[in-house]
Amino acid sequence: MVRLVTHNLLACHAKDCNTNNFPLVFQNVQLEIREAEFNPGFIQSFLPKIEWNALVKTAQELGDTSLPIDQPEMIDDELLKNLHHVLFEIHIVEGAMICPNCKHNYPISDGIPNMLLAEHEIA
C-alpha cells in the first residue's frame, strides 16, 4: 500500500528533473482507511526525518486537516495519534502521483506505486 510514510520519501527521478520534484501530488486517488497498531515510540524517533511541510500539505489534499501547519515543538499524545493516522492508516489504493515540476505521472495500482521510467526518461 502507498501510505503517507512512503510518499514522504519518494521523489521524481525523471531525466533532468532535479528541483521542485518533491512532494509528488496525488491525483484521482481511491483511499482506504485501515486501522494500524499505534506505536508512539517509533513515531517520536521518526519525526525528525519527516519532511513536515510535505506531509501536512499532502494530508490536507487528501482531506485530513488534523496536523498543524507549523511543526510543533511540544509533542503530545494527540499529535502522535494524528500523525499515526496520517502516516500509517490512510492507504492510497489506486490513482497516480504527479511530479510538481515535470508533471511525470507515476501510477498506483492495487496499492503499489510504479516508479519505473521508460529508457529515454532515465537520468
Range 37-66, binding another protein (CB under 8 A): 37, 39, 41-42, 44-46, 49, 51
User: Could you tell me the three cell numbers for 100?
Assistant: 510538481
Q: Does 11 bind another protein (CB under 8 A)?
A: yes
Which of these, 25, 21, 110, lies nearest to 59 by C-alpha position?
25
How many amino acids of this chain bind another protein (CB under 8 A)?
34
Rounded Cα gap, residues 84 and 71, in angstroms:
15
What is the side-by-side order of every strand in the sheet holding 90-98? 25-33, 90-98, 105-109
Residue carrying the nine cell digits 529508457: 119
Rounded Cα gap, residues 118 and 6, in angstroms:
22
Range 65-94, binding another protein (CB under 8 A): 91
Q: Does 29 bind another protein (CB under 8 A)?
A: no
Q: Is the CB of 15 or the CB of 65 nearer to another protein?
A: 15
Residues that bind another protein (CB under 8 A): 1-3, 5-6, 8-13, 22, 34, 36-37, 39, 41-42, 44-46, 49, 51, 91, 110-117, 119, 122
